[in-house]
Chains A and B, each alone.
Chain A
Amino acid sequence: MKKLLLATAVTLLSSTAFADVAVIVNPANGNAIDEGTIKKIYLGKAKSFDDGTKVNPVNQDGNSVSDEFNDKVVGKSSSQLNAYWSKLVFTGKGTPPEKLANDQAVIDFVASNNDAIGYIDAAKVTDKVKVIATF
C-alpha cells in the first residue's frame, strides 16, 4: 500500500513537472501542419508553410518547456541539438530559431506575427493564438 501511494505521488509529481507542450501559430494561419512538419521546421529543413509563406519559428531559451519540446517533438537532447545547429550555422547553411525568454514572450510574438510558430506550456494557452498540436 505504501508503495502504491509512493508510486501515485511520483506519478502526480512527474505529471506536474512535465506539463504538455502546445505548438501554436497565429489564428490567421490556416495551413495544415503535422508533427513531421513541425519537426522539420525546428530542424531548419522546412522553411515555408504550404501556402508559400516563410516560416518564422521561435524557441524558448533553455527552460523546461524547451527541454520537453526538444525531447518529445524534435527527438534530440540540448547538446545534440546544439551540435546539429552548429553544423549549419558555421557553414552558412542555416540559422536556428530565435530564442525567447518564456511562454508569455512566445504568445506575444506568435499573436503579432502571421508567419510565426512557437511552443508553450499547454496550460498557458490563450485565445490570442491557435493550438495546432499538443505533445
Chain B
Amino acid sequence: MKKLPIALALCAAFVSANTLAEVRINGFASIVGGKTLDDDTTLYGYDNDISFKNESMFALQLSADLQEKLSATAQIVARGDNDFDAEFEWAYLTYEFTDELQLSAGKMRAPFYRYSDFLDVGYTYRWVRPPQSVYNLPFSTYEGLSLLHNTQLGDWDSTLQVIYGSFDGDIAVVSVNGDTELNDIAGINWTLAYDWFSARAAYFVAETTIDIANDTDAGIALNGLEQALRGAGFVDQANDIAANEDDGSFFAIGFSIDYNNILFDAEYTEFEVENSALAKQTQYYTSVGYRMNEWTVHLTYENNDDKHDSNRYNALPAVPALNAGINQVLEGVKAKSNVYTIGTRYDFHPSAALKVDFSRFKDDITDTETDVVAVAVDLVF
C-alpha cells in the first residue's frame, strides 16, 4: 500500500512534465459469486457460504504516451480478497526502440504462463479462472526490466521476451505467510503464433529464499525439524530443508488452438527449489472448448504431482529419529491432485461475458473431493 503514493506521484510527474501527453484510461472488472457444495470444504478461497467478494476485482489502467517513443503505464487493482483496497500492481515505463523492439522498466507481470499477462482480465479467456493446478505460483508480479521483441517469420508471429528483476513479499508456500525474497530473477519466454495456432516455452531461474511461518502444521513440522537438525549439528541436512538462497527454476511449455470454433489449450509446467524441502512440482492441464456464436462450452482436466528425488529420503540413517523426521516433512509438503472443470461462457454484450464454471477437485493424498461452483461477469471498458 505504501507504494501507491509514490507511483501516483510518478504518474503525476510524467503527466505534468509533458502537458501534450495523451492519457488513456482503460479498465476491467470481474464480479464473481461462488461457493463449495459441501459443508466444511474450502477451495479457491470459497467455503460453503456463497461469497461475491473472494474472486471479484476491479481495475483501472492509465497509460500516457509521452513523446519520443516513451510511454508510462500504471494498473490500479482493487481485489475483493484484499477488501477492495486499491493497489498499484503494475507501474512501468516503456521505450520503443523500433516497431519490433521495446524495453520496459518498473513493476510488471512475471510472464510465467501463457495467460499470465492478462491473468486478471477474465474477459480474455473462457474460464472463470485459469486452471489453478498450473497457475499456482503464489506471486505474479516482479520489479525489474523486460525486453520484448516482436517479429514476423513468414506467416508466423514471433514474440521473444527476456526479463530480469526481483520479488519481495509474503506468499503462501507450505505456510500461509512466508516472507519471500527472489533475487536475480532471470527468464526468457518465446511465443510463435500462426493464425489459429500458437506455441510457447518459458524458462526462469531465481535465487529463492522463503521464511516459512509457523502457521500451518506442515510449516511447524518443517521449522521444528530444521531447528532440531541445526541443534544436533547436522548443518548440511538443515540447509537441505530450509529454502535459503537456493536455486529456484521454472519451466513451462504450452500450445493453443482456435480453429473453426474449436478451442484447445494445453500447458505443462515444472517448478523446483533445489536443496530445500519443497518438492519438485509438475503440473499440466488440457482444455477443449467449442464456440457457437455468443456461447462457448468447455471442459478442462488439470493434474498436479509433486515428487522428491529418491536420494532426498533417508538423508540421515545414523540418527533414526531425525531421519524419520526428514522423511515425514518431505512427504508432508507433497501435493497430488487433479481437477475437472466444466463451464460455459456467454458473450451477452460486446464488452461483457457471463460465465458459469463447475470444478471438482480431487486430493489424491487425502482421497477427498471438493466441488465448487462459480458464476462470473467479466467486463472490459
Contact = CB atoms under 8 A, between A and B. Distances in A.
B31 interface: no
A14 interface: no
Contacts of A90: 26, 28, 61, 75, 117-118, 120-121
B92 to A, nearest CB: 7
Interface size class of B (residues with CB under 8 A): 20 to 34
Interface stretch (A19-27, A78-86, A108-116, A120-128): A78-86
A78 B353 CA distance: 12
Interface residues of A, number: 17
Most chain B CB within a 10 A radius of its CB, from A48, A91, A93: A91
Contacts of B28: 86, 90
A86 B379 CA distance: 10
B62 to A, nearest CB: 11
A71 to B, nearest CB: 12
Contacts of B94: 92
A92 B104 contact: yes
A45 interface: yes
Contacts of A47: 99
A86 B121 contact: yes
A30 interface: no
Contacts of A87: 117-118, 121, 124
B24 interface: yes
Closest 7 CB pairs of A and B: A79-B347, A91-B117, A47-B99, A92-B73, A78-B350, A86-B380, A83-B124
24 contacts: A45-B152, A45-B157, A47-B99, A48-B99, A79-B294, A79-B350, A79-B353, A82-B350, A83-B124, A86-B28, A86-B121, A86-B380, A87-B117, A87-B121, A87-B124, A90-B28, A91-B109, A91-B117, A92-B63, A92-B73, A92-B92, A92-B104, A93-B148, A95-B24
